[in-house]
Amino acid sequence: MALDRKRSVRDRGSVRSRGSSSASSSDPREKLKDCCRQFVAFMFTQVGVGALVVSYAIMGAFAFMAIEGESENSDNNDHVARLRSACLSRLWNVTDHLNVLEERKWKLDVRQVLLDHQQAMALAIKGGYDGRTNQERWTFPSALMFSLSVFTMIGFGHLVPRTQWGKIATMLYAVFGIPVYVLYFMNMGQVLASCFKWFYCKLVRCADARKDKPLADGDPAAGNGNKEMIGVVSSAAGDELSDDLDEESYSGLIIVPSTACLWVWLTYLAVGTIMFAEWENWEYLDACYFCVTSLCKIGMGDFVPGANIQASSNQTKLIINFVYLLVGMGIIAMCYNLMKEEILVRLQELKADLIERLQDVSGRMRR
């Protein structure tokens, strides 16, 4: 349901932007400037950034389809065809020369021929041959997945540019796409973090209202700890945290504990695992492995949903995979946002503690 909301808001956003751009052409310069300003300001909001990311990916998909999909199947397929015919002619020579009775020699020779052919094939496969033509390889869903893997820095590698222009285009696409993605990442992280905090507060308030206890007493240790941490955090420029706290008309201070973030992430992972296992007929372990390596931006590429060799391109599934990965990145950003302050504080405490102990030790050593 969050996905639907996001998608509908995105649609509305794109309509609005289209409207503003059409109105600006017939207005005086001030209004044009104003519209431009509003448009850019809108683009920097959450919806705008999400739309920007999606449109950048789609644009990239089309570009790569044009560059790579339309390129001649040149080297590899022809090369392999030539290899095959060479192998065939060798086989024919061997068969022609030797009598059917000299079976052992025939077998040895043919075995050697096959071995050579296999090794040549292995080289060709490393060079990119996989039995398909470029058009078959670079379908729209695959290209979309490729674009996504470039600018999110996952880099699956199941589909790679083979032409020179494709490689240059990839580098340029990455150089411009990665900042856009980083913007999206931070934006999404803040939005999700505030949503989650609000949700969590509501939950806690609800639970405590049911328990019929004032919250200040309900969790004294955590309250004090939270207060301390708030004191430290706000001094370390955690402005988003203080914003949310200002909205709290609340006696106690609530910090979302890191465990809650971890639970959210684990749930999301579980959902992804089940989804991919069912759809792609993978093992659960494989699906989990895929989810973790993709969400951690490692991106091995041995498992890619909907884009492996034998599969037929299933459009909706790939789009859902795309959305899953993007939202997953957002959730990681949210966890990072919520946890980093706490981690920083703890690390500083640890460091101070360590330094103190080292000073003790050094003092004792000097004595």
Partner 1 sequence: MGSTRLRQSSLEERYRKCLRISLTFLFSQVGLIGLVVAYSAAGAVLFEWLEADQEIEPRRKILQIRLDCLERLSQLNYYSTATSTENSTELWAIKAGALLKAFETEVVKATKVEGYDGKEVDDAERQWSVSGSLLYSITVITTIGYGNLAPKTGPGKVVTIIYALIGIPLMLLCLSNLGTFMASSFQFAFGKLYCCLWCSSRHCCCHQRRQQRRRQHHEQQLKTLTQPGVVLSTLSPVSRATADVVLPTTATTTTTHIERRERNKKMDDGLSARDLAELAERDYDIVIEEDRPADAIIRTAAGLNYCATDKLNDKARSLLADCSRYDCRANSNNNSVAGTPLPGHISDWPTSDAAVESGGQQQADEGHLDRMMGESPLPPPAAAAAASDTKLPGNVPATSDETSKLNATAANKSGGGQQRVPVSVVLAFLVGYICIGAAVFSAWEEWSYLDGAYFSFITLSTIGFGDLVPGSKVLEQGETKLVACIVYLVVGLAMIAMSFNLVQEEVIYNFQKLGQNMGILDEK
Are the C-beta atoms of 62 and 141 separated by less than 8 Å? no
282 near partner 1 (CB under 8 A)? no
Question: Between 135 and 359, whose beta carbon lies closer to partner 1?
Answer: 359
Question: Between 129 and 200, whose beta carbon lies closer to partner 1?
Answer: 129
319 near partner 1 (CB under 8 A)? no
Are the C-beta atoms of 27 and 109 separated by less than 8 Å? no
Q: CA 256, CA 11: separation in Å to the nearest integer?
A: 32
The radius of gyration of the chain from alpha carbons, rounded to an integer in Å, stands at 29
The one among 123, 195, 236, 271 contacting partner 1 by CB under 8 A:
123
Contacts of 351 (CB under 8 A, 6+ apart): none
242 near partner 1 (CB under 8 A)? no
The one among 23, 114, 203, 237 contacting partner 1 by CB under 8 A:
114
Question: Between 128 and 218, whose beta carbon lies closer to partner 1?
Answer: 128
171 near partner 1 (CB under 8 A)? yes
153 near partner 1 (CB under 8 A)? yes
Q: Which range binds partner 1 by CB under 8 A, 23-31, 62-70, 107-115, 204-212?
A: 107-115
The one among 136, 278, 302, 353 contacting partner 1 by CB under 8 A:
302
Are the C-beta atoms of 300 and 293 separated by less than 8 Å? yes
119 near partner 1 (CB under 8 A)? yes
The one among 58, 128, 186, 323 contacting partner 1 by CB under 8 A:
128
Q: How far is the CB of 202 from partner 1 (least distance, A)?
A: 30
Which value, to the nearest 10 degrees, does the dihedral of the CA atoms of residues 294, 296, 297, 300 take? -50
Q: Which of 192, 185, 219, 190 is nearest to 204 (CA)?
A: 219
Q: CA 45, CA 179: separation in Å to the nearest integer?
A: 15
Q: Which range binds partner 1 by CB under 8 A, 71-79, 190-198, 211-219, 358-366?
A: 358-366
For the residues of 176-240, what is the DSSP string, one character each?
A: HHHHHHHHHHHHHHHHHHHHHHHHHHHHHHHHHHHHT--HHHHSHHHHHHHHHHHHHHHHTT-HH
DSSP alpha helix (H) spans, 248-314: 258-280, 284-295
For the residues of 104-129, what is the DSSP string, one character each?
A: HHHHHHHHHHHHHHHHHHHHHHHTT-
- According to CB under 8 A, which residues from 27 to 56 bind partner 1? 33, 36-37, 40-41, 44
Structure tokens at 148: 């996504």
Question: Between 54 and 169, whose beta carbon lies closer to partner 1?
Answer: 169
Residues that bind partner 1 (CB under 8 A): 33, 36-37, 40-41, 44, 80, 84, 87-88, 91-92, 95, 100, 103, 106-107, 110-111, 114-115, 117-119, 121-123, 125-126, 128-131, 149-150, 153-158, 160, 164, 167-168, 170-171, 174, 178, 285-286, 288-289, 292-293, 296-302, 308-309, 351, 354-355, 358-359, 362
